[in-house]
Structure 1
């Protein structure tokens, strides 16, 4: 199971870090992040262009293709740095679309619980200090920024600093969350020790297996007094259509040079048959800090939901994705210039949906009959095709926004036949590699 995820890291451009107990405190090394983007296109010559919808569900061709690395042509572009998570439709999903709770929301409850412990200890005449963990950062922005810069983390994750937010693409989720630890003597109220820390949270899935992983790495930013050299240990639990297959977060000492790491593997619990099953699971990592028998309250951090399915047309393999709306991106000076120019015209001049930077999404249609109806309305066989040209329609016939089922608004244009055919193959690859199933949203980015 762990080997499968690690092997998949090469094709995903992610770290499939599999830590043994001896390695658990070593820092994770991250592979360069690579955008998984395939150029998109319309589909006209179905008889010529094999698409996932036209292959048997047990197709070995699709199963084999699903397990291969993304073609080199799709790896040309590094994802742009994001100034804000609120920006929509580039390489990371908008904040409002990520259903992961903000850990800081629970800070007040944690502080109340901690104060109650202090009051109880004071009333009992207890001389033992009380340690409270919180998501409320006490370190300065400069301290946190310096710590983030010194920590090997994917650029797309740490470019925004330790802002306590999740950043997500189709198969990865990452965030850096600041927190603090404080030890108080109940009788005197004196603070005897503090620690400021960061949590690098990293979840990753794979397009063709039923398992996904979650890693949390706790890094000390600074510490004082009795909280120098604390230990951390924890576990994980999964809610929804998933179960924890493996949980590794043993007690580990923390220091400026040694981080505590927890690694968890989850399996989806959706049924393997019949075809078309899907379900979401959400995993929570929880841990406590301790020093000389004094243990803190529990902190927990939940990932965004992970959708697993066996509903991808053309293959029987189960795979898991993050809550990210992918984009098919290609250039007007690329392999399909006439295709790109047509879609740009359709999106801009005719105001048709699917444009980069908007929320007017395209949604995938997988029913072959309905796809044929879309295609026949936009590009009927009675329409004359000049020599060397084919009829290209937008929105794509394989979307619910197509000519027949999208309300009647569409665009068609005669374009180079080879560009149209190769564009159809690119669209199929885009669906395949991003695991876009029935009614999944996506956008089309013309560069």
Structure 2
């Protein structure tokens, strides 16, 4: 009898320091051919949280989701909004964290007497997260999307992080040429399967990461490598990650000497560290193995 088509776009946004996630749905490219009775062709959008951890956490929903509307009605409506929000003090410790799965569905009901090829389905799956990690914000926490963030460092001339970017590039491309010596060295942080994880709370472990890296700088460049603080010992993976230089001392299954350390100009090293801290805060990278990031050099 004919055909209809439509494209649904959903744009998820989170305002700065907000616990509310807003999904804006857009019905676009709506067209028909033949004699389809589009006034009686109904389309229902059902956005919802399908799972939560902890399961007892409550998520409030809002917006103006229209329910079941005809093809013609949606062509006029075009856009609507759905919001989700989890209050604090109901998540898992230590960061009051609530993880969830957001999974909207489209269901289509044909006009009476018509048959339909395809009756809808799930649009996509997103993973919202709410936390109150005080080291990334000093308020009531905020929402974020649980996707793998990418820290991008530039190796171009003039970039403040150029020296550190060059170190990481070398560590990734020719790891066996870096110090300490390890012919089987393969550094994490290059893929989703082996990301880097922020280490914040365990200050002793962070200090141990630093001291292990400094030992390497002293071993290969001498105890006076800093030249009165002109140089700092740069380490990768970062000392503020679980994959830092001392990882094998805390995780027996982790490979030994699976890091790189070398002296870099102090100002260059500090500039890269500032960018790393800003990246952690802006992307709400929380402590532990439930969150992670990768590093790219451009």
Same fold, TM-score > 0.5, yes or no: yes
Matched with 2:203 is 368
Residues 257-268 of structure 1 mapped to structure 2, 5 A cutoff: 258=76, 260-268=78-86
* Structure 2 spans left out of the alignment, 5+ residues: 176-184, 249-255
Higher relative contact order (CA 8 A, sep 6+): 1
- The alpha-carbon deviation at position 427 of structure 1 amounts to 0.7
Work out whether residues 235 and 247 of structure 1, in 8 Å CA contact, stay in contact via their aligned partners in 2. Answer: no
Matched, 1:249 2:45: no
Residues 225-304 of structure 1 mapped to structure 2, 5 A cutoff: 225-229=35-39, 230=41, 232-239=43-50, 240=52, 241-250=57-66, 254-255=71-72, 258=76, 260-269=78-87, 271=89, 275-286=94-105, 301=123, 303-304=125-126
Matched, 1:442 2:252: no
- The alpha-carbon deviation at position 364 of structure 1 amounts to 1.5
Quick one: distance in 1 between partners of 2:270 and 2:102?
42
Residues 121-136 of structure 1 mapped to structure 2, 5 A cutoff: none
Out of 235, 246, 255, the residue aligned to residue 393 of structure 1 is 235
Query: Per the alignment, in what secondary structure is the counterpart of residue 258 of structure 1?
Result: helix
Matched, 1:201 2:19: no
- The alpha-carbon deviation at position 357 of structure 1 amounts to 5.5
- The alpha-carbon deviation at position 285 of structure 1 amounts to 3.5
- TM-score normalised according to structure 2 size: 0.72
Q: 1:284 to 1:402 in 2, by over 3 A?
A: closer
Work out whether residues 27 and 79 of structure 2, in 8 Å CA contact, stay in contact via their aligned partners in 1. Answer: yes
Quick one: distance in 1 between partners of 2:126 and 2:69?
26
Work out whether residues 254 and 260 of structure 1, in 8 Å CA contact, stay in contact via their aligned partners in 2. Answer: no
How many residues get paired?
Answer: 256
Quick one: distance in 2 between partners of 1:275 and 1:316?
15
Quick one: distance in 2 between partners of 1:399 and 1:226?
58
Quick one: distance in 2 between partners of 1:292 and 1:424?
61
Work out whether residues 286 and 300 of structure 1, in 8 Å CA contact, stay in contact via their aligned partners in 2. Answer: yes
- The alpha-carbon deviation at position 378 of structure 1 amounts to 0.9
Matched with 2:179 is none
Q: 1:340 to 1:302 in 2, by over 3 A?
A: closer
Residues 391-430 of structure 1 mapped to structure 2, 5 A cutoff: 391-406=233-248, 407-430=256-279
Quick one: distance in 2 between partners of 1:208 and 1:312?
12
Work out whether residues 42 and 71 of structure 2, in 8 Å CA contact, stay in contact via their aligned partners in 1. Answer: yes
Deviation track 1:378-437 (CA, whole Å, cap 9, x = no partner) reads 115973212421111111101111111243322211111111111111110010011111
- Tell me how large the CA RMSD over aligned residues is: 3.3
* Structure 1 spans left out of the alignment, 5+ residues: 1-190
Work out whether residues 211 and 268 of structure 1, in 8 Å CA contact, stay in contact via their aligned partners in 2. Answer: yes
Work out whether residues 247 and 263 of structure 1, in 8 Å CA contact, stay in contact via their aligned partners in 2. Answer: yes
- TM-score normalised according to structure 1 size: 0.50
Matched, 1:336 2:177: no
Q: 1:409 to 1:209 in 2, by over 3 A?
A: same
Deviation track 1:317-365 (CA, whole Å, cap 9, x = no partner) reads 4222223211111222222222222122222222442454674322221
Work out whether residues 27 and 75 of structure 2, in 8 Å CA contact, stay in contact via their aligned partners in 1. Answer: no
Q: 1:244 to 1:365 in 2, by over 3 A?
A: same
Quick one: distance in 2 between partners of 1:359 and 1:298?
32
